[in-house]
Structure 1
Amino acid sequence: MNKDIEKFMRYFLPNISDDSIELFSSIMTLEHYPKGKMLIKQGQIASNFYIIKSGIARSYMKDNDGKEHIRTLYTQQSTFGALSSLIEKKPSNASYNCLSECELYVANFEHFLHLTRVKHELAIFYNKVLEQIFIRTERKVDDLSLLSATERYLKVKKQIPNIDNMIPQYHIASYLNITPVQLSRIRKKLYSV
């Protein structure tokens, strides 16, 4: 049994059967991607979803001026994919790429949906994953609305303690919806004691 996949699945559904874990594992392949690898391009119809074994990836959008805006950062044991594109079979409104070397488990979404139709426990698992994605998205919107830039930075540092060493500061700033200069000021204020 794949221990990475088992750990991932049991996070969402602690009592999931070994049979369901084996079935889900059977559609996953472990792939190695270099830093910068584009997984899904904005405007492309997605077909796969991913689970991160190691590394960090992002989803981002480009505005009319070509400026990138990071929507989400994904780290170890995160799952991601262009969910609306996968479900609606329409072009993705975001791009997804690796910000570091990544080891990703990759699966075809349609193959997974087929498994959810033949194995009820996997449908429950899928529902639990969707719930967590919804909660993660709702929290991000709440944070942008209610927390100061400094509070958002400290929250990200708590969630991803070594983020400053993993990706460039301008990516962190983009994720926090601030400028790199603002992030530099925040860091200087926090760390100049």
Structure 2
Amino acid sequence: MIILECFINNFHPLSEQSYQKVLSLAKLLKFSNKDILTKYGETPKNLFILKRGVVRSYYTDNNGKEYIRSLFTTFSASGSLGALITNKPSELTYDCLTDCELYAINYKELKKLALQDKDVSYMYANALESIFLIFESRLYDLSVLNATERYLKLKTQIPEIENIIPQYHIASYLNISAVQLSRIRKEIYSK
């Protein structure tokens, strides 16, 4: 529960009473590599906070090609937030790229609690702002940074990424081909 408490307090320190209310909504679940948290077209119920592991969100085009939108690692929130907010089917699939432990929190119950508890409301608002900033940064990266810069930034964020998930997932996240990623890595490591 220490990771959950640190995660929550990172956005807004909660009183013990407020923390216990949030804690009562959280269930620690274990998932295996390739387990699906939310399927495309499914209306999700839970928001997830990663205790351990790597989760991805991805789109699949009409030809079956996958495009990774986000990678989530320990101490981050995951889940189809847009679908949770609108209570509509998810446009993305969320699955585990490694064995994972996640806290599942029923989103509707959390939102209800935020309406009743000022501390939880502040934490919720700050968490949404943080998520917005993360997505804004991701859009900037894809729009402005070249492939090598995106790879180096990812390596800064997740130094051991190449030992954790397959290269083709890394390439998909960077929006490049596996061959291009191989060339980038060869050029960087030959220096």
Give TM-score, length-normalised by structure 1: 0.97
Distance 1:21 1:186 in 2: 45
Matched, 1:150 2:118: no
Corresponding residue of 1:124: 122
Distance 2:79 2:118 in 1: 22
Q: Is the 8 A contact 2:55 2:78 kept in 1?
A: no
Corresponding residue of 2:174: 176
The runs of 4+ residues in structure 1 deviating greater than 4 Å are none
Structure 2: any 5+ residue segments left out of the alignment? none
Q: For structure 1, which segment, 54-63 or 116-125, has the greater mean C-alpha deviation from structure 2 after superposition?
A: 116-125
5, 25, 28: which one aligns with 1:27: 25
What is the letter of the counterpart of residue 166 of structure 1? I
Residues 1-193 of structure 1: pairs in structure 2 closer than 5 A: 2-13=1-12, 15-193=13-191
1:152 Cα deviation (Å)? 0.3
1:21 Cα deviation (Å)? 1.4
Q: Is the 8 A contact 2:55 2:96 kept in 1?
A: yes
Distance 2:170 2:19 in 1: 34
Q: Is the 8 A contact 1:49 1:80 kept in 2?
A: yes
Structure 1: any 5+ residue segments left out of the alignment? none
Q: Report the secondary structure of 2:183's partner residue.
A: helix
Q: Is the 8 A contact 2:150 2:174 kept in 1?
A: yes
Q: Is the 8 A contact 2:4 2:51 kept in 1?
A: no
Distance 1:115 1:129 in 2: 15
Cα deviations by residue, 1:64-101 (Å, 9 ceiling, x for unpaired): 11100000000001001111111111110000000000
Give TM-score, length-normalised by structure 2: 0.98
Distance 2:36 2:106 in 1: 17
Q: Report the secondary structure of 1:97's partner residue.
A: strand
Distance 2:63 2:21 in 1: 45
Distance 1:11 1:163 in 2: 24
Q: Report the secondary structure of 1:96's partner residue.
A: strand
Distance 1:152 1:24 in 2: 36
Q: Report the secondary structure of 1:11's partner residue.
A: helix
Aligned length: 191
Q: Report the secondary structure of 2:186's partner residue.
A: helix
1:16 Cα deviation (Å)? 2.4
1:104 Cα deviation (Å)? 0.4
